[in-house]
Chain A
Amino acid sequence: MQKKSRIPVLRGLAALAVGMMALAACGGGSDENGPSGAKELRLWHYESADGAMGKAWSAAIAKFEETHPGVKVKFEEKSFEQINQSGAMALNSNEAPDILEYNKGNATAGLIAKQGLLTDMSDEVVKRGWDKLLSPSLQTTAKYDDRGIMGEGNWYGIPNYGEFVSVYYNKDLFKKYDLEVPTTLDDFTKVMDEFVAEGVTPLANAGAEYPAQQYLYQLALSKADRAWVDRYQLYKGKNDFKDPAWTYAATTFADWVSKGYIAKNSAGTKAEDMGVSFMKGDFPILVSGSWWWGRFQTDVKNFEWGSFLFPGNTLHAGSSGNLWVVPEKSKAKDLAYDFIDITMSKEIQNLLGNSGGVPVAADPAAISDPKSKELIELFGKVNSADSLAFYPDWPAPGYYDVLVQNTQKLINGSAAPNAFLDAIAGPYDENLQDQGLGD
């Protein structure tokens, strides 16, 4: 182990680098406000204005200004990439906003919580009762310990919405071949066999981005329990990549490619192409996240579609959505908490639900749109059973890319399941060592 040395020169360099990155990251001046009694709430988020979250949050801003006369909300639109790549630098500078949306997980929110850039809002959470509104697996992504690991420790963020992976299917194609919605993995396999026999590739897939690894993870989860998820995601005990769940996932995934359930030429495909091909009716089934829901709702015109949970699984990929966090340097923390409170109110939560999002605290009776209702009920099933199992790429920074590169090999048949498991074990274990989490 190296000794930590804090050389002034390095500090200066770090500051220099931060300054340069801040130059690249964002403009926008900071106004001097008094320590609360602030007349302005500076807010950043990166949701598109016409998406569910964007709509809900615009309404929340309006509501905030209505209930706080004399306070202006100064909203700055950011991009996901901007926050992801230089958000930390900005929070470390005097440019920090009073409240912002931040990506959840160890490598993102956990990293900046560990660095002391975020406000610990544990007292506020209890006082305002936000903890009552969030199920255990939604709370996991909101709490970080002093190593920046999610699941325990203090509250550093509050999610307004949830997301989860389910099976989307083309009802017309199921009808055409006289197939039922499967309830077990065996039935699911039979359905796919039928499609293959008819010369149809059943599963839409994208190897160049996240979809392939989510297929793999769903298969692993079919043989896993909560303790397995805690090992893999929260480092509670040793995760073994050669255990039955991982072995089953890798061999079955490779098997699904060789049987023609997943196209052999899908290694280079991007998620967008996968979604579009499902919307065109090229593939009868797509296993992916609830973020597609709103898009399918507006864009799928020529066939009926529906969704069911991955058959037989008690655990599903998914988590809370991104978090509202309050930077340590925020000059209006009390106003930031008031704003979060508004986003958790029934009014805003119901709007989020009716706009195609997955609210965490909506009133089911207030959701009028039937398709949105369907989504929220599906999420209700997952959430009440506490079966959100997060995403496969979360345990280590840069692990997303490791999984993409190696599932591509699995699709192309250039790596056998065993070699695949070895390849993904390396970087995972390396991260444990880097962070001093290893045994």
Chain B
Amino acid sequence: MATEIRKGERAVAVSKDAPPPVRPSRTVSYWLYLVPSGVLFTVVIGAPFVASVVLGFTRWQGIGAPTWIGLENYQRLFQDERFWQSFEHNLVLILAMAVIPTFLGLVLASVLFDFVGKRYGARTASGLRAAFYLPQVLPVAVAGVVWTWILKPTGGALNAVLEAIGLPGQDWLGDESLALPSVGGILVWLQIGYPVVIFMSGLQRVDPSLYEAAEIDGAGWWRRFRHITVPQIRPEIYVVLLTCTIAALKVFGPIYVLTRGGPGGATNVPSYFSYQNFFQKTQVGYGSAIATVLTLVIVAVTFLFLRAQRRGEETS
């Protein structure tokens, strides 16, 4: 707690003959620091979350009084084919947003750090790192529009290239069997920068003598990667996998910009499905129920990850 110092007063904490000040108990002052973020959390996350969970048990069109219907929304949800489909699509997107970027990111970070950095200088490596990171900085709406141009069935850049080398052009975002892989591909591009940056900073921690010792012992690049790089930055790998998986479960922006869940529902995901019910169909209760299930899934996934990570650390 700040002591005020008035003009003319000497900045002495306590004069000699005054009784020693009573120090506020430490825990109380810690709690005070938590007040601003506590208030913000309550207003922005806590209260809406509770409201959303409760609304999941009602039928409500967004105005008037909600009608309490108990578990009806959830019964409907578990029979709703589109809901299950949207979760299946999510699995594909976890692959595209978490698994593939983590693996590629590891290889790229390691190549940049170990090979490019040593061969062509740190500048080149950080320049390339920035290039990989660029899609993370672009607003998703902009990236989405650019990709729809590239993937347009007629006059799109990708098809123009394919046709130039004699391959048939495809309707990338309009064909039901291609739409989800296409969106997945775009998401890999969008995500890749994040693991690269995190892993490269992780690699800074690794003691270079480890690599030198391994090299003297005749270990090639791949063995050094497997036995030094990966185990040494395991904590970073866990963090990236976890945050990317959560991002994949929540994904909304790219779907909204690229396909609106189409064609024929082929790229629908839970968050977009919830949004549709909430805003477009004015079925606020049902939309809230979907959002609640999604939240539970995310919490469960996080919990499992953290447990796996703890175990991983205990065994190493």
Are A11 and B279 in contact (CB-based, < 8 A)?
no
Cα A85 to Cα B72 in complex, Å, equals 24
Q: Find out whether the CB atom of A398 lies under 8 angstroms from the CB atom of B276.
A: yes
**Among the listed B68, B261, B263, B279, which residue makes an inter-chain contact with A267, where contact means beta carbons less than 8 Å apart?**
B263
Q: A13-B55, A16-B51, A265-B174 are in contact. Are A412 and B280 (CB under 8 A)?
A: no
Tell me which of B63, B153, B282 has the highest count of chain A C-beta atoms within 10 A of its own C-beta.
B63
B155-192: CB near A (< 8 Å → 1, else 0) gives 00000000000000001111110010000000000000
The answer to whether A5 has its CB under 8 Å from any CB of chain B is: yes
Complex formed: what's the CA distance from A115 to B64 in Å? 6
Give 1 or 0 for each of B51-92: 1 = CB within 8 Å of chain A CB: 100110011111111111100100000000000000000000
- Do the beta carbons of A408 and B65 come within 8 Å of each other? no
Evaluate contact between B262 and A208: CB separation under 8 angstroms: yes
| CB proximity of A132 to chain B, nearest CB, Å | 33
- A5 vs B69: C-alpha distance in the bound complex, in angstroms? 9
B124 close to A (CB within 8 Å): no
Q: How far is the CA of A92 from the CA of B154 in the complex (A)?
A: 47
Q: Is the CB of A412 within 8 A of B69?
A: no
Is B174 touching A401 in the complex (CB atoms < 8 A)?
no
Which of the residues A84, A208, A273 comes within 8 Å of B260, measured between beta carbons?
A: A208
Q: Judge if A181 is at the interface, Cβ distance under 8 Å.
A: no
Q: Take A208-B262, A268-B179, A415-B264 as given contacts and tell me if A112 and B63 are in contact as well, using a CB distance cutoff of 8 Å.
A: yes
Interface residues on A, range: 35 or more
- In the bound assembly, the distance between CA atoms of A117 and B61 in angstroms comes to 13
CB of A205, distance to nearest CB on chain B (Å):
11
Asked whether, in the complex, the Cβ of A397 is within 8 Å of the Cβ of B282, the reply is yes
Number of B positions contacting A (CB below 8 A): 44
Q: Which residues in window 108-163 of A have CB below 8 A to B?
A: 111-112, 115, 117
* Minimal beta-carbon separation of A81 from chain B (angstroms): 9
- A263 and B265 CA atoms in complex are apart in Å by 20
Q: Do B281 and A398 touch (CB < 8 A)?
A: yes
Question: For the complex, is B234 an interface residue (Cβ under 8 Å from A)?
Answer: no
Nearest chain A residue, comparing its CB with the CB of B265: A405
Contact indicator per residue, chain B 25-69, by CB within 8 Å of chain A (1) or not (0) = 000000000000000000000011001001100111111111111
Closest to B179 in A: A268
Tell me if B61 and A111 are in contact (CB < 8 A).
Answer: yes
Using a CB-CB cutoff of 8 Å, which residues 4-49 of chain A contact chain B?
4-7, 9-11, 13-14, 16-18, 20-21
A interface list, Cβ under 8 A from B: 2, 4-7, 9-11, 13-14, 16-18, 20-21, 84-85, 88-89, 91-92, 107, 111-112, 115, 117, 207-208, 263-270, 273, 277, 282, 397-398, 400-401, 404-406, 408-409, 411-412, 414-415
Q: A268-B179, A398-B281 are in contact. List 15 more A-B contacts (CB 8 A).
A: A17-B284, A20-B47, A84-B279, A107-B282, A111-B63, A208-B259, A208-B262, A263-B154, A265-B175, A398-B280, A398-B282, A400-B280, A408-B264, A414-B176, A415-B264
